[in-house]
Amino acid sequence: MASRLVNPRRFVACSLCQWQQRLFTTSARRLAEKPAPLPSTPSSPSAPVGTVPLQKPKPELPGAAIKAPRSYGARLDTFTPEPLPRPIGMPGPPHPNDNSGYDPRTIKERRDDFVNYDKHLARRRQLKAQMARPYFRDWSNLKFENGKSFLAPPRPFKAEVSLFFPNFVGDTLDPEHGRFRATTNVLHGKTSIVALFQGRWAEDQTDSFLAPAANPALHALLAGAGGDRLQLVRLNMEDNALKAWLVGLFMGSLRRRLAASEWGRYFLVRRAVSPEISESIGLLNSKVGYVYLVDHLCRVRWAASAAATPDELASLVKSARTVLDEVERDRQDLRALKAAGQI
């Protein structure tokens, strides 16, 4: 007792160390000892005895929309890009907190997940799959049509069957309010043409769709629609910390290259894209640029990859005009319902 009174800090520190040792020793023991399986119970004839029946595959799950070379799996010797067979995107609408690093779990939920054996096995399988991916596979896949994974559809996907564009969080060029902004807040309520790229070469590919010299018809449509209806959004995806730091150093040159009205729509996203999102939106090669047409409800209505072809340039303008007309008709119907007092 006398030693505790003489040096109270040492007593508190030792007590804290003992508490941490008991906590993590218990967690490690519970994790190492896999719980014994429960006794098997008779199930449906379609499932073997003692197993849990698997859910049927849902059509909105990612992975089967595009047949193209990937950074994993078997290497392809020949490949010809094909048009998108069905809408691409996420099955649920985005939220500004998605992919932001925000963890809504309580301390108890985090602790339960930490000692959950099955979740650790799932995480282990995920890490093994990432480590098994060849590092230079994306570079070698550039030999197929300069990395083009698919061809853009000739017309936009129908609104009722379209899937959603995911949320990303990053810093914009806005010097005052540009830190840690969500793309969903920028995309919602407007028709957007989103360019997604990593590196200068991929950005040049997206410019083949968006540059005034490459697509003057698109900029004529932008000028006619106005910034409150149609906008350009650029996402610079840089998950490498050193490269992201270098890009951050040259934010001033990026501001001089773009108009001040576009600063709030240029995002530097430092968080890595998950494999689920990559498969869902067709982001199959990180060295290639992608362009998406996203409507006012954050639904992907049109998409293209790599450098533009003449047909894709015309398809982008036609699809954007179609989506703008749909949004205007919806707004007119909404105003009519409000005038009639039905809503």
**Same-domain pairing of 240 and 284:** yes
Q: How many residues does the chain have?
A: 343
From residue 164, give the alpha-carbon distance in Å to each of 134, 277, 292. 29, 11, 11
Neighbours of 98 (CB within 10 A): 18
What pLDDT sits at residue 65?
66
Whether residue 188 is found in the same domain as residue 279: yes
174 and 109 in a common domain: no
Nearest to 289 by CA among 269, 272, 270, 307: 307
123-136 pLDDT, tens digit each? 787 777 666 666 67
> CA torsion, points 45, 49, 50, 54, in degrees to nearest 10?
-40
Q: Does residue 107 sit in the same domain as residue 154?
A: no
**Residue 42 domain flag:** no
One-letter amino acid at 216 equals P
pLDDT in tens, 44-81: 444 443 333 333 443 444 445 687 777 766 677 777 88
- pLDDT bin (cut points 50, 70, 90) of residue 100 is confident
109 in the same domain as 144: no
Domain containing 125 equals 102-132
Based on the fold, state whether residues 197 and 271 are members of the same structural domain: yes
Longest alpha-carbon distance in the chain: 86
| DSSP-derived secondary structure for 125-164 | HHHHHHHTS-TTHHHHGGGTGGG---BPPSSPPPGGG--B
Residue 63 lies in a domain: no
Our count of domains for the chain comes to: 2
Q: Is residue 292 part of a domain?
A: yes
pLDDT digits (tens, 9 = 90+) for 279-337: 899 888 888 999 999 999 999 999 999 899 999 999 999 999 999 999 998 888 888 88
Quick check: is 265 in a domain? yes
For 194-244, how does the pLDDT look when each residue is reduced to its tens digit (9 = 90+)?
999 998 889 999 999 999 999 999 999 999 988 789 999 999 998 887 888
Reference 59, options 149, 147, 144, 161; nearest CA is 161
Q: In this structure, are 235 and 271 located in the same domain? A: yes
- Residues 304/311, Cβ–Cβ less than 8 Å: no
* Share above pLDDT 70 across residues of the chain, in percent, rounded to a whole number: 75
Q: pTM, whole model, 2 decimals?
A: 0.73
Using the 3D structure, point to which of 113, 132, 151 is the last residue of a domain.
132
Q: Quote the distance between the C-alpha of residue 177 and its chain's center.
A: 22
Does residue 249 belong to any structural domain of this protein?
A: yes
Instruction: Say yes or no: 123 and 147 in one domain.
Output: no
